[in-house]
Amino acid sequence: MKRLTALFLALFMITASAQYKNEMRAVWLTNVDSNVLFSDTEIAKAMDFLASVGVNVVFPVVWNKGYTLYPSQVMQNTFGVSIIPQFAGRDPLEKVILEGHRVGIEVIPWFEFGFSSSYSLNGGHIVAAKPHWAGKDNQGNLLVKNGFDWLSGINPEVQDFMISLITEVMDKYDVDGVQGDDRLPAMPIEGGYDSVTVSIYKAENSGSNPPQNPYDLNWKKWRAGKLNSFLARLRDTVKVRGDQMILSVAPSVYPWGYDNYLQDSKSWIDSSLLDNFIPQLYRQDIVSYRYELGLSLNYVPQEKRNIFFAGVLAKAGSYVMTPSLLSQSVRENRFRGVAGESYFFYEAFKANSVLADTLKALYSDPAVPPFRNGKIWRPKAELINEDSTGYASFSGNWVRSNVQGYQTGIYWTNDTADAEFYYNFDVKWEANYDVYAYMVPNFIFTDFARYTLYGASDSSTTVVSQRNSANSRWVKIGTVYLTPGNKRVIKIDNKDVEQGKYLLADAVMLMLNRKLSPDVVITDIRNEETESGQPVSYRLMQNYPNPFNPETTIRFSLKNSGSATLKIYDLLGREVRTLINGELQSGSYSINFDSKNDFGGLLSSGVYFYTLKTGDFSSTKKMVLLR
């Protein structure tokens, strides 16, 4: 009997939705003590790495030492500088959003410096330009605490400025929320003596000056109340853009944050101002961490604990948390009913591979952030490579080249006769999608690559330079509205290519646009069927998990019934295992591969390939076995 019979119990039709844990698994991305934001390539590598270890949210810094880390028209208009000088000519936030969403990670920009304008720079360029924005202590000096120079967070102009930055980010980018921290909203308790704050206090207190004692309880409560009002206003600003937009704050622990920085986070929770609350439980041993976690939870009512997540210190200077402490902290969080954590910061896991492996093991099951209520807000982007059988095709004279593109190999043409390259996608949801093309700019390529996008009811053409160095890696071609099914989405042609220049065809990508399609509900990213339950195309999916040890699952869909084979090959192309060889009905399938050869022997660690063949369809994917 055919091998299919022997494997029948291992092979089954998919009938149930994938099960996801409800956990937030987040990491802060900094521009200090980290190079990740300084290179588009490093950003892409970081997102791939974080997705591989199970992270589903990143908090990239966008406001640091009085500068934005994205091109800001607000900053340009107000202070004559659009971005932090080190990033001039780039947009790191745009790249983090692109690469994060590509792998299914939510991106929530972090306004790190909040109401602080600089560090040990006498207020920096902001106070130099707007001296009346400066925070002051009771001696009339610039408000400075632990080296940080502070603006007056109660000054309406300062509050308006901060909200204008946050609004700009939400309106300009397809972000998933915004985040404050121990400096937003906050003000050192020694502050509040600037002329603007004093005048507001006097107007509300029968002309009386504020107490000279900064620790006076009523004065403390009044200032904290002004910051609370700012946060309420910020929430309204966020939520008017949609309930899906998350407001997150990662404050100092309560009551320390209230006593030192006027952060009345208990009131924030009681007033339901936050979607996501991450107190900074920054301790370097499990006993201290356990104590701080318990203390923080005591201030959060049981019915509000679904918004509580733990801020975990993974790296500070030369300190990197141990794998043991990481495991203990996560276990303690789950034991206390805390469904997730955020780690400060990314470089901890790059500095210690064992720590990264530990995180991957802890996060081995897929998860969606609890604030998404079991729904998948950011599905991974769909990618079609230029050599994807059944999805990429061409007419005319195209030549395969080993030039390094998204993967090794691209197609190109310099033929004067008509040449076109087509890409089809299995569109899962009726929605708006952003379409990207992968480019490796070079002087031999054309300045006039014609891309045509096909929507549900229309098409549009745009011309893009494949020579311009600014068009590197994923370049957005446009946005289209699509309906479910196998659809031609994009075409490249050579109608405008200059004499002697080449036209490049590499990978293309389809990404759900959540700004335009916030109401699309996704409960299972692995559901490939149409409403009738039948696949709309042939497809071989990436195995999961990958890398794996010792087992992994391979999934595929067959549009029509027929003979099919699924085989495993080693790096030298030698067949090591036949998983399927027989007749299969149309449908979606899943098979478990136990990393053994056809004779039951264990395969060694390394790179392997699996190939599905049925009729004229053939597709191969790579997987890695790590023993």
pLDDT value at 552 more than 70: yes
Predicted local confidence at residue 408, as pLDDT: 84
Whether 173 and 89 share a structural domain: yes
Give the pLDDT confidence of 151-202 residue by residue, as tens digits: 999 999 999 999 999 999 999 999 999 999 999 999 999 999 999 999 999 9
For the chain, what percent of residues have pLDDT higher than 90? 85
pLDDT value at 118 more than 50: yes
pLDDT value at 284 more than 60: yes
Helical (H) or strand (E) element with 294: helix 286-298
Report helix angle 156-172 to 217-239, nearest 10.
30
Whether 431 and 541 share a structural domain: no
For the chain, what percent of residues have pLDDT higher than 70? 95
Predicted local confidence at residue 539, as pLDDT: 82
The C-alpha atoms of residue 373 and residue 523 are separated, in whole angstroms, by 10
51 close to 366: Cβ distance less than 8 angstroms: no
Cα angle: 368, vertex 370, 372; to 5 degrees: 75
Which residue's entry shows tokens 């330009």?
129
pLDDT bucket at 523, cuts 50 / 70 / 90? confident
Give the pLDDT confidence of 425-484 residue by residue, as tens digits: 999 999 999 999 999 999 999 999 999 999 998 999 999 999 999 999 999 999 999 999
pLDDT bucket at 534, cuts 50 / 70 / 90? low
pLDDT bucket at 229, cuts 50 / 70 / 90? very high
Predicted local confidence at residue 13, as pLDDT: 37
Q: Is residue 233 part of a domain?
A: no
pLDDT value at 9 more than 50: no
Whether 287 and 408 share a structural domain: no
The C-alpha atoms of residue 539 and residue 523 are separated, in whole angstroms, by 20
More confident residue, 225 or 605: 225
The C-alpha atoms of residue 262 and residue 182 are separated, in whole angstroms, by 10
Predicted local confidence at residue 1, as pLDDT: 36
pTM of the model: 0.82
Which has the minimum average pLDDT: 110-114, 557-561, 598-602?
A: 557-561
pLDDT value at 3 more than 60: no
Tally of structural domains, the chain: 3
The C-alpha atoms of residue 619 and residue 543 are separated, in whole angstroms, by 13
Predicted local confidence at residue 399, as pLDDT: 97
pLDDT value at 17 more than 60: no
Which of 309, 342, 372 finishes a domain?
Answer: 372
Helical (H) or strand (E) element with 463: strand 459-464
Predicted local confidence at residue 572, as pLDDT: 84
DSSP string, 196-214: HHHHHHHHHTTTPPPPS-T
More confident residue, 523 or 377: 377
Residue 477: which CATH number?
2.60.120.260
pLDDT value at 339 more than 80: yes
Q: Which spans in 429-469 are helix H?
A: none
Whether 358 and 392 share a structural domain: no
Residue 175: which CATH number?
3.20.20.80
Nearest to 21 by CA among 376, 520, 547, 382: 376
Q: Is residue 621 part of a domain?
A: yes
Q: Is residue 311 part of a domain?
A: yes
Which of 338, 372, 406 finishes a domain?
Answer: 372
Give the pLDDT confidence of 396-428 residue by residue, as tens digits: 999 999 989 998 899 999 999 999 999 999 999
Whether 366 and 387 share a structural domain: no
Which of 339, 372, 405 finishes a domain?
Answer: 372
* Beta strand 382-384 pairing with 508-512: antiparallel
Give the pLDDT confidence of 421-435 residue by residue, as tens digits: 999 999 999 999 999
Whether 175 and 71 share a structural domain: yes
Q: Is residue 227 part of a domain?
A: no
Predicted local confidence at residue 525, as pLDDT: 57
Whether 161 and 254 share a structural domain: yes
Q: Is residue 423 part of a domain?
A: yes
Cα angle: 428, vertex 102, 371; to 5 degrees: 80
* Beta strand 382-384 pairing with 63-64: unpaired
The C-alpha atoms of residue 122 and residue 149 are separated, in whole angstroms, by 6
Predicted local confidence at residue 6, as pLDDT: 36
Whether 280 and 387 share a structural domain: no
Which domain does 389 fall in, by range?
382-512
pLDDT value at 538 more than 90: no
pLDDT value at 273 more than 70: yes
- Side chain identity, residue 561: S
Q: In what order do the strands lie in the sheet with 503-505?
A: 399-404, 408-413, 503-505
Whether 173 and 317 share a structural domain: yes
Q: Is residue 151 part of a domain?
A: no
Average pLDDT, the chain: 93
Give the pLDDT confidence of 48-89 residue by residue, as tens digits: 999 999 999 999 999 999 999 999 999 999 999 999 999 999
Give the CA count within 13 Å in the CB-facing half-sphere of 175: 29
Whether 40 and 167 share a structural domain: yes
The C-alpha atoms of residue 29 and residue 60 are separated, in whole angstroms, by 5
- Side chain identity, residue 51: A
Q: Is residue 341 part of a domain?
A: yes
Residues 6+ apart with CB under 8 A from 481: 431, 432, 433, 455, 456, 457
Whether 326 and 451 share a structural domain: no
Residue 604: which CATH number?
2.60.40.1930
Q: Is residue 175 part of a domain?
A: yes
Whether 390 and 486 share a structural domain: yes
